Chains A and B, each alone.
Chain A
Amino acid sequence: MSLLAAIRPDSWNWALLVHVAGAMILVGGLLTAGGAAALARRDETGALIRLSFRTLAWVALPGFIIMRAGAQWIYDKEGFTGDDPAWIGIGFGISDLGALLLVIALVLGGVGLRRSRRGGGEGMLRVSGIIALVLLAMYVVAVWAMTGKPS
Protein backbone atom coordinates (compact mmCIF):
# COMPACT_ATOMS: atom_id res chain seq x y z
CA MET A 1 0.00 0.00 0.00
CA SER A 2 1.38 3.34 -0.99
CA LEU A 3 2.50 5.55 1.87
CA LEU A 4 0.96 8.45 -0.02
CA ALA A 5 -2.41 6.82 0.55
CA ALA A 6 -1.74 6.23 4.24
CA ILE A 7 -3.21 9.51 5.41
CA ARG A 8 -6.55 10.54 3.97
CA PRO A 9 -6.79 14.28 3.33
CA ASP A 10 -9.80 16.01 4.85
CA SER A 11 -10.94 17.04 1.37
CA TRP A 12 -11.82 13.39 0.66
CA ASN A 13 -14.27 13.19 3.57
CA TRP A 14 -17.35 14.32 1.66
CA ALA A 15 -16.72 11.83 -1.13
CA LEU A 16 -16.20 9.06 1.43
CA LEU A 17 -19.38 10.05 3.30
CA VAL A 18 -21.42 9.91 0.08
CA HIS A 19 -19.87 6.54 -0.80
CA VAL A 20 -20.40 4.94 2.63
CA ALA A 21 -23.89 6.40 3.13
CA GLY A 22 -24.96 5.15 -0.31
CA ALA A 23 -23.51 1.72 0.44
CA MET A 24 -25.38 1.53 3.75
CA ILE A 25 -28.67 2.47 2.08
CA LEU A 26 -27.98 -0.10 -0.65
CA VAL A 27 -27.24 -2.88 1.86
CA GLY A 28 -30.31 -1.93 3.91
CA GLY A 29 -32.48 -2.02 0.79
CA LEU A 30 -31.11 -5.41 -0.23
CA LEU A 31 -31.59 -6.80 3.28
CA THR A 32 -35.21 -5.63 3.30
CA ALA A 33 -35.95 -6.85 -0.24
CA GLY A 34 -34.24 -10.20 0.30
CA GLY A 35 -35.78 -10.72 3.72
CA ALA A 36 -39.26 -9.86 2.47
CA ALA A 37 -38.88 -12.25 -0.47
CA ALA A 38 -37.64 -15.04 1.81
CA LEU A 39 -40.63 -14.63 4.13
CA ALA A 40 -43.16 -14.17 1.33
CA ARG A 41 -44.08 -17.87 1.11
CA ARG A 42 -45.78 -17.67 4.51
CA ASP A 43 -47.56 -14.42 3.67
CA GLU A 44 -51.02 -14.95 2.18
CA THR A 45 -51.68 -11.22 1.85
CA GLY A 46 -48.95 -10.74 -0.80
CA ALA A 47 -47.74 -7.62 1.03
CA LEU A 48 -44.18 -8.83 1.56
CA ILE A 49 -43.45 -9.80 -2.04
CA ARG A 50 -44.67 -6.39 -3.23
CA LEU A 51 -42.62 -4.69 -0.52
CA SER A 52 -39.59 -6.68 -1.71
CA PHE A 53 -39.75 -5.21 -5.22
CA ARG A 54 -40.64 -1.69 -4.04
CA THR A 55 -37.68 -1.65 -1.64
CA LEU A 56 -35.37 -2.74 -4.44
CA ALA A 57 -36.67 0.05 -6.67
CA TRP A 58 -37.01 2.86 -4.13
CA VAL A 59 -34.21 2.12 -1.66
CA ALA A 60 -31.56 -0.21 -3.14
CA LEU A 61 -31.38 1.44 -6.58
CA PRO A 62 -30.92 5.02 -5.27
CA GLY A 63 -28.46 3.63 -2.70
CA PHE A 64 -26.47 1.97 -5.49
CA ILE A 65 -26.37 5.19 -7.54
CA ILE A 66 -25.19 7.24 -4.53
CA MET A 67 -22.61 4.57 -3.58
CA ARG A 68 -21.24 4.34 -7.13
CA ALA A 69 -21.08 8.11 -7.58
CA GLY A 70 -19.21 8.42 -4.27
CA ALA A 71 -16.85 5.60 -5.32
CA GLN A 72 -15.97 7.36 -8.57
CA TRP A 73 -15.57 10.69 -6.77
CA ILE A 74 -13.11 9.36 -4.19
CA TYR A 75 -11.33 7.21 -6.80
CA ASP A 76 -10.66 10.35 -8.85
CA LYS A 77 -9.40 12.15 -5.74
CA GLU A 78 -7.06 9.29 -4.81
CA GLY A 79 -5.45 9.59 -8.23
CA PHE A 80 -4.71 5.92 -8.92
CA THR A 81 -3.20 5.48 -12.37
CA GLY A 82 -3.98 1.98 -13.52
CA ASP A 83 -2.00 0.06 -10.85
CA ASP A 84 -4.96 -0.18 -8.50
CA PRO A 85 -4.63 -2.29 -5.35
CA ALA A 86 -6.60 -5.54 -5.09
CA TRP A 87 -9.32 -4.12 -2.84
CA ILE A 88 -10.23 -1.51 -5.44
CA GLY A 89 -10.50 -4.26 -8.06
CA ILE A 90 -12.76 -6.26 -5.75
CA GLY A 91 -14.90 -3.19 -5.07
CA PHE A 92 -15.34 -2.18 -8.69
CA GLY A 93 -15.82 -5.79 -9.81
CA ILE A 94 -18.60 -6.41 -7.30
CA SER A 95 -20.12 -3.02 -8.05
CA ASP A 96 -20.25 -3.64 -11.82
CA LEU A 97 -21.59 -7.20 -11.52
CA GLY A 98 -23.94 -5.96 -8.81
CA ALA A 99 -25.33 -3.28 -11.13
CA LEU A 100 -26.13 -5.91 -13.77
CA LEU A 101 -27.80 -8.20 -11.23
CA LEU A 102 -29.74 -5.28 -9.73
CA VAL A 103 -31.10 -4.33 -13.15
CA ILE A 104 -32.12 -7.96 -13.79
CA ALA A 105 -33.81 -8.12 -10.36
CA LEU A 106 -35.66 -4.87 -11.02
CA VAL A 107 -36.87 -5.97 -14.47
CA LEU A 108 -38.02 -9.36 -13.14
CA GLY A 109 -39.64 -7.73 -10.11
CA GLY A 110 -41.36 -5.05 -12.21
CA VAL A 111 -42.80 -7.58 -14.68
CA GLY A 112 -43.72 -9.89 -11.80
CA LEU A 113 -45.51 -7.09 -9.94
CA ARG A 114 -47.47 -6.16 -13.07
CA ARG A 115 -48.47 -9.79 -13.61
CA SER A 116 -49.36 -10.23 -9.94
CA ARG A 117 -52.30 -7.86 -10.45
CA ARG A 118 -53.73 -10.49 -12.82
CA GLY A 119 -52.96 -13.33 -10.42
CA GLY A 120 -49.47 -14.40 -11.66
CA GLY A 121 -45.87 -13.24 -11.54
CA GLU A 122 -45.03 -14.73 -8.14
CA GLY A 123 -42.10 -16.71 -9.53
CA MET A 124 -40.52 -13.63 -11.06
CA LEU A 125 -40.92 -11.69 -7.83
CA ARG A 126 -39.31 -14.55 -5.90
CA VAL A 127 -36.32 -14.71 -8.28
CA SER A 128 -35.97 -10.96 -7.89
CA GLY A 129 -35.82 -11.40 -4.10
CA ILE A 130 -33.30 -14.24 -4.38
CA ILE A 131 -31.06 -12.00 -6.52
CA ALA A 132 -31.33 -9.38 -3.76
CA LEU A 133 -29.99 -11.93 -1.25
CA VAL A 134 -27.12 -12.86 -3.59
CA LEU A 135 -26.31 -9.16 -3.98
CA LEU A 136 -26.40 -8.73 -0.21
CA ALA A 137 -23.79 -11.48 0.22
CA MET A 138 -21.62 -9.90 -2.51
CA TYR A 139 -21.73 -6.48 -0.89
CA VAL A 140 -20.77 -7.89 2.52
CA VAL A 141 -17.60 -9.19 0.82
CA ALA A 142 -17.12 -5.76 -0.79
CA VAL A 143 -17.44 -3.97 2.57
CA TRP A 144 -14.82 -6.30 4.05
CA ALA A 145 -12.49 -5.76 1.09
CA MET A 146 -12.87 -1.98 1.15
CA THR A 147 -12.10 -1.76 4.86
CA GLY A 148 -9.76 -4.72 5.43
CA LYS A 149 -7.88 -3.88 2.23
CA PRO A 150 -6.29 -7.31 1.55
CA SER A 151 -2.98 -6.80 -0.22
Chain B
Amino acid sequence: MNTRSGQGAARGRRRRSQDPGVFSPDGLWKRWRRSSAYCARVDFSDWLLALHVLAAFALIAALVLFSAVMVAGWAVDRPQRAIAYSRLAAIGGPLVGAGAALALLLGIALAIDLDDYQIWDAWILISIALWIVGGAAGSRVGAHYTDAQELAQRLAGGGDETSAELAAKLSDRRVATLHAITVTAFTVILVLMIFKPGA
Protein backbone atom coordinates (compact mmCIF):
# COMPACT_ATOMS: atom_id res chain seq x y z
CA MET B 1 0.00 0.00 0.00
CA ASN B 2 3.04 2.21 -0.11
CA THR B 3 2.11 3.43 -3.55
CA ARG B 4 4.59 5.99 -4.83
CA SER B 5 6.00 6.41 -1.37
CA GLY B 6 6.47 9.77 0.18
CA GLN B 7 5.80 11.86 -2.84
CA GLY B 8 3.66 14.59 -1.32
CA ALA B 9 6.28 17.30 -1.17
CA ALA B 10 8.00 16.47 -4.42
CA ARG B 11 4.74 15.99 -6.22
CA GLY B 12 3.69 19.47 -5.15
CA ARG B 13 6.71 20.81 -7.00
CA ARG B 14 6.03 18.75 -10.07
CA ARG B 15 2.40 19.82 -10.37
CA ARG B 16 1.33 22.43 -12.88
CA SER B 17 1.34 25.15 -10.26
CA GLN B 18 1.98 28.41 -12.09
CA ASP B 19 -0.41 30.61 -10.10
CA PRO B 20 -2.70 32.39 -12.62
CA GLY B 21 -3.95 34.92 -10.03
CA VAL B 22 -6.41 34.84 -7.19
CA PHE B 23 -9.42 36.14 -9.11
CA SER B 24 -9.35 33.72 -12.02
CA PRO B 25 -11.36 30.48 -11.65
CA ASP B 26 -8.12 28.50 -11.86
CA GLY B 27 -6.56 30.66 -9.16
CA LEU B 28 -9.49 30.09 -6.81
CA TRP B 29 -9.28 26.36 -7.51
CA LYS B 30 -5.59 26.30 -6.63
CA ARG B 31 -6.18 28.35 -3.43
CA TRP B 32 -8.91 25.91 -2.37
CA ARG B 33 -6.54 23.05 -3.02
CA ARG B 34 -3.85 24.62 -0.84
CA SER B 35 -6.25 25.36 2.01
CA SER B 36 -7.80 21.89 1.92
CA ALA B 37 -4.34 20.35 1.93
CA TYR B 38 -3.40 22.46 4.96
CA CYS B 39 -6.55 21.50 6.89
CA ALA B 40 -6.27 17.81 6.23
CA ARG B 41 -2.44 17.69 6.36
CA VAL B 42 -2.73 15.55 3.27
CA ASP B 43 -1.75 16.97 -0.10
CA PHE B 44 -4.47 17.31 -2.77
CA SER B 45 -2.67 14.88 -5.08
CA ASP B 46 -2.32 12.43 -2.21
CA TRP B 47 -6.07 12.66 -1.62
CA LEU B 48 -6.60 11.87 -5.29
CA LEU B 49 -4.15 8.97 -5.06
CA ALA B 50 -5.70 7.66 -1.83
CA LEU B 51 -9.21 7.70 -3.30
CA HIS B 52 -7.95 6.18 -6.57
CA VAL B 53 -6.29 3.33 -4.65
CA LEU B 54 -9.33 2.86 -2.36
CA ALA B 55 -11.52 2.57 -5.48
CA ALA B 56 -9.11 -0.02 -6.89
CA PHE B 57 -9.29 -1.92 -3.59
CA ALA B 58 -13.09 -1.90 -3.75
CA LEU B 59 -12.95 -3.25 -7.29
CA ILE B 60 -10.45 -6.03 -6.55
CA ALA B 61 -12.14 -6.92 -3.24
CA ALA B 62 -15.41 -7.36 -5.15
CA LEU B 63 -13.63 -9.59 -7.68
CA VAL B 64 -12.26 -11.69 -4.79
CA LEU B 65 -15.83 -11.92 -3.42
CA PHE B 66 -17.21 -13.00 -6.83
CA SER B 67 -14.42 -15.60 -7.13
CA ALA B 68 -15.21 -17.02 -3.68
CA VAL B 69 -18.94 -17.17 -4.49
CA MET B 70 -18.22 -18.76 -7.87
CA VAL B 71 -16.01 -21.47 -6.31
CA ALA B 72 -18.41 -22.12 -3.41
CA GLY B 73 -21.45 -22.19 -5.69
CA TRP B 74 -19.86 -24.32 -8.42
CA ALA B 75 -22.41 -26.95 -9.54
CA VAL B 76 -24.76 -26.18 -6.63
CA ASP B 77 -28.07 -27.76 -7.59
CA ARG B 78 -30.37 -26.62 -4.78
CA PRO B 79 -32.12 -23.26 -5.27
CA GLN B 80 -32.04 -22.15 -1.61
CA ARG B 81 -28.29 -22.45 -1.47
CA ALA B 82 -27.89 -20.70 -4.82
CA ILE B 83 -30.10 -17.85 -3.55
CA ALA B 84 -27.95 -17.53 -0.41
CA TYR B 85 -24.81 -17.19 -2.52
CA SER B 86 -26.48 -14.73 -4.88
CA ARG B 87 -27.37 -12.50 -1.89
CA LEU B 88 -23.68 -12.40 -1.00
CA ALA B 89 -22.70 -11.69 -4.60
CA ALA B 90 -25.13 -8.74 -4.58
CA ILE B 91 -22.75 -6.96 -2.17
CA GLY B 92 -20.08 -7.04 -4.86
CA GLY B 93 -22.25 -5.51 -7.60
CA PRO B 94 -22.24 -1.87 -6.46
CA LEU B 95 -18.64 -2.18 -5.26
CA VAL B 96 -17.33 -3.40 -8.58
CA GLY B 97 -19.29 -0.73 -10.50
CA ALA B 98 -18.34 2.19 -8.26
CA GLY B 99 -14.78 0.92 -7.82
CA ALA B 100 -14.16 0.56 -11.55
CA ALA B 101 -15.70 3.93 -12.43
CA LEU B 102 -13.94 5.87 -9.65
CA ALA B 103 -10.59 4.15 -10.21
CA LEU B 104 -10.72 5.20 -13.88
CA LEU B 105 -11.93 8.76 -13.28
CA LEU B 106 -9.56 9.48 -10.40
CA GLY B 107 -6.71 7.87 -12.32
CA ILE B 108 -7.35 10.24 -15.24
CA ALA B 109 -7.56 13.16 -12.78
CA LEU B 110 -4.18 12.11 -11.32
CA ALA B 111 -2.60 11.91 -14.78
CA ILE B 112 -3.84 15.46 -15.46
CA ASP B 113 -2.78 16.73 -12.04
CA LEU B 114 0.79 15.41 -12.11
CA ASP B 115 3.46 16.60 -14.52
CA ASP B 116 5.29 13.28 -14.42
CA TYR B 117 2.49 11.42 -16.22
CA GLN B 118 0.41 12.16 -19.30
CA ILE B 119 -2.91 10.62 -20.18
CA TRP B 120 -1.42 9.42 -23.51
CA ASP B 121 1.45 7.52 -21.84
CA ALA B 122 1.48 3.97 -23.24
CA TRP B 123 1.03 2.30 -19.83
CA ILE B 124 -2.01 4.48 -19.10
CA LEU B 125 -3.58 3.84 -22.51
CA ILE B 126 -2.97 0.07 -22.16
CA SER B 127 -4.55 0.22 -18.69
CA ILE B 128 -7.63 1.96 -20.06
CA ALA B 129 -7.89 -0.66 -22.84
CA LEU B 130 -7.61 -3.45 -20.26
CA TRP B 131 -10.21 -1.69 -18.10
CA ILE B 132 -12.62 -1.84 -21.07
CA VAL B 133 -11.81 -5.54 -21.70
CA GLY B 134 -12.21 -6.41 -18.00
CA GLY B 135 -15.41 -4.39 -17.72
CA ALA B 136 -16.96 -5.99 -20.81
CA ALA B 137 -16.09 -9.53 -19.71
CA GLY B 138 -17.25 -8.82 -16.14
CA SER B 139 -20.61 -7.42 -17.25
CA ARG B 140 -21.29 -10.63 -19.24
CA VAL B 141 -20.48 -12.70 -16.15
CA GLY B 142 -22.83 -10.51 -14.13
CA ALA B 143 -25.65 -10.96 -16.65
CA HIS B 144 -25.19 -14.74 -16.54
CA TYR B 145 -25.39 -14.86 -12.75
CA THR B 146 -28.46 -12.59 -12.76
CA ASP B 147 -30.14 -15.20 -15.00
CA ALA B 148 -29.00 -17.97 -12.64
CA GLN B 149 -30.43 -16.07 -9.66
CA GLU B 150 -33.78 -15.65 -11.41
CA LEU B 151 -33.83 -19.36 -12.23
CA ALA B 152 -33.05 -20.22 -8.59
CA GLN B 153 -35.87 -17.98 -7.37
CA ARG B 154 -38.32 -19.57 -9.80
CA LEU B 155 -37.25 -23.05 -8.68
CA ALA B 156 -37.43 -22.09 -4.99
CA GLY B 157 -41.13 -21.37 -5.45
CA GLY B 158 -41.68 -25.09 -5.85
CA GLY B 159 -39.52 -26.18 -2.89
CA ASP B 160 -35.82 -26.91 -2.62
CA GLU B 161 -35.56 -29.77 -5.09
CA THR B 162 -32.34 -30.41 -6.96
CA SER B 163 -32.12 -28.99 -10.48
CA ALA B 164 -29.69 -30.11 -13.17
CA GLU B 165 -30.40 -26.91 -15.11
CA LEU B 166 -29.36 -24.77 -12.13
CA ALA B 167 -26.23 -26.86 -11.56
CA ALA B 168 -25.28 -26.51 -15.24
CA LYS B 169 -25.83 -22.75 -15.10
CA LEU B 170 -23.63 -22.40 -12.01
CA SER B 171 -20.82 -24.49 -13.47
CA ASP B 172 -20.64 -22.91 -16.92
CA ARG B 173 -16.99 -23.06 -18.02
CA ARG B 174 -17.44 -20.26 -20.55
CA VAL B 175 -18.51 -17.91 -17.75
CA ALA B 176 -15.62 -19.06 -15.57
CA THR B 177 -13.27 -18.21 -18.45
CA LEU B 178 -14.84 -14.76 -18.80
CA HIS B 179 -14.36 -14.20 -15.05
CA ALA B 180 -10.73 -15.29 -15.36
CA ILE B 181 -10.29 -12.74 -18.18
CA THR B 182 -11.75 -10.02 -15.93
CA VAL B 183 -9.46 -10.91 -13.02
CA THR B 184 -6.42 -11.13 -15.32
CA ALA B 185 -7.18 -7.77 -16.96
CA PHE B 186 -7.43 -5.95 -13.63
CA THR B 187 -4.37 -7.76 -12.25
CA VAL B 188 -2.31 -6.64 -15.25
CA ILE B 189 -3.60 -3.08 -14.66
CA LEU B 190 -2.32 -3.31 -11.07
CA VAL B 191 1.10 -4.43 -12.34
CA LEU B 192 1.16 -1.55 -14.86
CA MET B 193 0.17 0.96 -12.15
CA ILE B 194 3.12 -0.12 -10.00
CA PHE B 195 5.83 -0.64 -12.64
CA LYS B 196 4.73 2.23 -14.94
CA PRO B 197 6.82 0.99 -17.87
CA GLY B 198 8.21 3.85 -19.91
CA ALA B 199 7.35 6.53 -17.33
Q: Which residues of A contact B (CB under 8 A)?
A: 1-3, 5-8, 10, 12-13, 16-17, 19-21, 23-25, 27-32, 35-36, 39, 42-45, 47-48, 51, 54-55, 59, 71, 74, 78, 85, 91, 140, 142-144, 146-151
Interface residues on B, range: 35 or more
Chain B residues with Cβ below 8 Å from A12 are 5
Given contacts A8-B4, A20-B194, A39-B88, contact A28 B64 (CB under 8 A): yes
Closest 4 CB pairs of A and B: A28-B64, A146-B1, A5-B6, A6-B10
Q: Given A17-B191, A147-B3 in contact, is the A35-B50 Cβ separation under 8 Å?
A: no
Are the CB atoms of A24 and B61 closer together than 8 Å? yes
Is B23 in contact with chain A by the CB < 8 A criterion? Answer: no
Q: Please report the C-alpha to C-alpha distance between residue A133 and residue B6 in the assembled complex, in whole angstroms.
A: 29
Interface flags for B19-46 (1: CB within 8 Å of A; 0: not) read 0000000000000000000001110001
A42 pairs with B87, CB closer than 8 A = yes
User: Could you list 17 examples of A-B contacts with CB < 8 Å?
Assistant: A3-B9, A12-B5, A16-B194, A23-B57, A24-B60, A24-B61, A28-B62, A30-B61, A31-B62, A31-B91, A31-B92, A31-B95, A45-B81, A47-B81, A143-B53, A150-B40, A150-B41
Given known A-B contacts A32-B88, A39-B88, A149 and B60 have beta carbons under 8 A apart: no
Pick the contact of B64 from A31, A36, A42, A146 — CB < 8 Å?
A31
A142 touches B1 (CB 8 A): yes
User: In the complex, how many angstroms separate the beta carbon of A95 from the nearest chain B beta carbon?
Assistant: 10
- Measured CA separation A59–B2 after assembly (Å): 22
Partner of B84, one of A29, A39, A78: A39
Main secondary structure of the interface of A (DSSP, over half): helix
B63 near A: Cβ within 8 Å?
Answer: yes
Question: With A6-B7, A29-B64, A150-B41 as given contacts, are A45 and B91 in contact (CB-CB < 8 Å)?
Answer: no
B67 CB to closest chain A CB (Å) equals: 8
B187 CB contacts on chain A under 8 angstroms: 21
Selected from A42, A85, A146, the residue in CB contact (under 8 A) with B3 is A146
Contacts of B9 in A (CB 8 A): 1, 3, 6
Return chain B residues, CB-CB under 8 Å to A78: 2, 5
Contacts of A32 in B (CB 8 A): 64-65, 68-69, 88
A2 to B8, CA, bound (A): 10
Contacts of B133 in A (CB 8 A): none
Given contacts A144-B54, A148-B42, A150-B42, contact A23 B88 (CB under 8 A): no
Query: Measured between C-beta atoms, what is the minimum distance from A13 to chain B in Å?
Result: 5
Cα–Cα, bound, A28→B62 (Å): 6
